[in-house]
Structure 1
Amino acid sequence: MSNGNESCMFGDGDDFLACLFNTFEEWSGLGPLEDYLSYLEYLAWVFTPLVVVFILPFLIVIFLYLSILFLHVYKHKNQLREAYSNNLWDGARKTLATLWDGHGFIWHGYEIHGMEKIPDEGAALIVYYHGAIPIDYYYFLAKVLIQKGRIVHSVADYFLFKVPGFKLLLEVFSVIHGPQEECVKALKSGHLLGISPGGVREALLSDETYPLLWGKRKGFAQVAIDSKVPIIPMFTQNVREGFRSLGGLSFFRWSYEKFRMPMAPVYGGFPVKFRTYLGNPIPYNHNISAAELAEKTQQAVQALIDRHQIIPGNVLRALLERFHSRHKDK
């Protein structure tokens, strides 16, 4: 073998490559490589038309969806122009909201039932169930901004503020990490505020049976009492079928409880039907305690789940709901 390698070193370029191929064939015992290359070339010749046949329609579908997204943005062009003329960040928010709204319309057929319960002005605390990825909440924020012209301030887990590049996005969309004083300040200033008492725990550890994992949390209720604002319960049908978490597995549950970091894998992105339901506002009552108000709010969100979600959730059923209007609402 060494003699062959040595002889290869003294040939020109073509002879050198041919010599290397021959040496490899002898060493591997696979036979002439030309036969394998010819076979691969034949397979490519056979399957290329099939690949093209399936890829081209898929590209056309993508193009059609991009066209729909463009039309969705174009429909709001006057609002966008006005927003940019008033303030750069207002224009940026409205543009991103329009894109998110278009994505929700295309990918999930997103709907909101009860938008009239969101006040046109004045403060309210919106309390919602937290999906594995709260993409439904992003769609909700976009809808409120477009239809009501209002920014919903939001409470997010502290770890989000440590994600590189997120700082500007969180600032522009008025996201805070949740000290009660900041929440009360936002509400007393007349803003809407969204919060999920279950937070990351609910996102990772809840499942297709939709349990509320609030524990004994009542800080959000105390915020509502101190701010003297109503609480609006919210739930999105099929949110667990869009994205699911493996946080229920013992290892990921243990790691979250130990390190308080959302390390459980999330999978999905399925284009299931999303419907967000807003319940009747729970009015401010100075005679109620924070614990009692927290329990009342949990019951209100649970009632939305019981009324609008078939349990356990099923991805196939949620996909089929994109094509018909039947849903559990009674």
Structure 2
Amino acid sequence: MLGKLYHGYEICGMDNFPKGPAILVFFHGGMPVDNFFLTQVAYRMTGRTVRIVTDHLIFQIPGIQTYITLLGAVHPSREECVALLKEGHVVSIAPGGLREQNYGDKTYKLIWGKRHGFAHTAIEAKVPIIPYFTTNIQEGYRVCGNTGIMRWLYERIRFLVFPVLGPFPVKLRTHIGEPIPYDPNITPEELFEKAKAAVEALRDKHQKIPGSIPRALWERFEVHRKEG
């Protein structure tokens, strides 16, 4: 409800939402509220619960653990994540994580490094990967502390959330891409590159770069034909 009222939140491509176990991968914006919005809409439409993989350090912030747990957040090991998938769950993972949240900007460059863990997990569990991307997520929640000294500090303590401006009531629209099916002959590195390219393709198709807060606000009033 909050997403609909404040951001005019919509999902395009809901036909691609998995009917069985799968891993959702996405670009981690300045504040990944789209992940929670998608989870809530998916539950209302399909009755399925998405388990949101979250950095275990987030659970150490006082007052946060109970709230995000209610929203479906978990911090499993790879083995536990495989077990969730084999039980039939949908698991959501942002490979860029907190680094992408802190370092990302209005160019929407993916900062995934060599974080192949989700690809290893998908292969081991024999499940597809579903890419998605949310337009204007960086305009709704704009990171403003991406400076040299902040990056220096983050790289040493690895747990620092840069200051975020917002929320701005911009239009948020999630685009769910076509599944990348399980392939027993693919390597984790190859699957990683395919998933990254799929998210980038959704970004290039649906996001105007560089992002603009005024334009994203104006999109609240534009008529859009839903896809899928």
Q: TM-score, normalised by structure 2?
A: 0.95
1:105 CA drift (Å)? 1.0
The residue that corresponds to 1:111 in the other structure is 10
1:309 CA drift (Å)? 0.4
Equivalent runs, 1:30-45 vs 2, <5 Å: none
Query: Secondary structure of the equivalent of 1:190?
Result: coil
Equivalent runs, 1:17-56 vs 2, <5 Å: none
The 1-side partners of 2:161 and 2:3 are apart by 26
Given candidates 208, 211, 218, the residue that maps to 2:109 is 211
The 1-side partners of 2:133 and 2:163 are apart by 23
1:175 CA drift (Å)? 2.3
Query: Secondary structure of the equivalent of 2:220?
Result: coil
The 2-side partners of 1:124 and 1:265 are apart by 33
Equivalent runs, 1:91-106 vs 2, <5 Å: 102-106=1-5
The 1-side partners of 2:21 and 2:161 are apart by 35
Query: Secondary structure of the equivalent of 1:312?
Result: coil
| Deviation >4 Å, runs of 4+ | none
Which has the larger helix fraction? 1
The residue that corresponds to 1:73 in the other structure is none
Given candidates 155, 160, 168, the residue that maps to 1:257 is 155
Q: Is the 8 A contact 2:98 2:161 kept in 1?
A: no
TM-aligned CA distance change 1:214 to 1:103, over 3 Å: same
Query: Secondary structure of the equivalent of 1:104?
Result: helix
Counterpart of 1:107, as a letter, is Y
Q: Is the 8 A contact 1:252 1:263 kept in 2?
A: no
Count of residues paired in the alignment: 226
Q: Is the 8 A contact 1:123 1:192 kept in 2?
A: yes
Stretch moving more, 147-156 or 245-254: 245-254
Q: Is the 8 A contact 1:204 1:245 kept in 2?
A: yes
1:326 CA drift (Å)? 6.0
Given candidates 173, 195, 208, the residue that maps to 2:93 is 195
The 1-side partners of 2:150 and 2:216 are apart by 26
The 1-side partners of 2:166 and 2:9 are apart by 17
Query: Secondary structure of the equivalent of 2:24?
Result: strand
The residue that corresponds to 2:60 in the other structure is 162
2:25 paired with 1:127: yes
The residue that corresponds to 1:225 in the other structure is 123
Q: Deviations over 1:118-158 (max 9, x none)?
A: 133x2010001101111111111110111111110111011
1:165 CA drift (Å)? 2.5
Q: Is the 8 A contact 1:246 1:252 kept in 2?
A: no
Q: Quick one: percent identity of the two aligned structures?
A: 47
Query: Secondary structure of the equivalent of 1:119?
Result: coil
The residue that corresponds to 1:316 in the other structure is 214
Gaps of 5+ in 1: 1-101
The 2-side partners of 1:158 and 1:185 are apart by 18
Q: Deviations over 1:174-229 (max 9, x none)?
A: 42224111110110100000000000000110100001000011010000000000
Stretch moving more, 152-161 or 279-288: 152-161
Structure index of larger Rg? 1
2:79 paired with 1:184: no
Gaps of 5+ in 2: none
Q: Deviations over 1:74-114 (max 9, x none)?
A: xxxxxxxxxxxxxxxxxxxxxxxxxxxx1111111100001
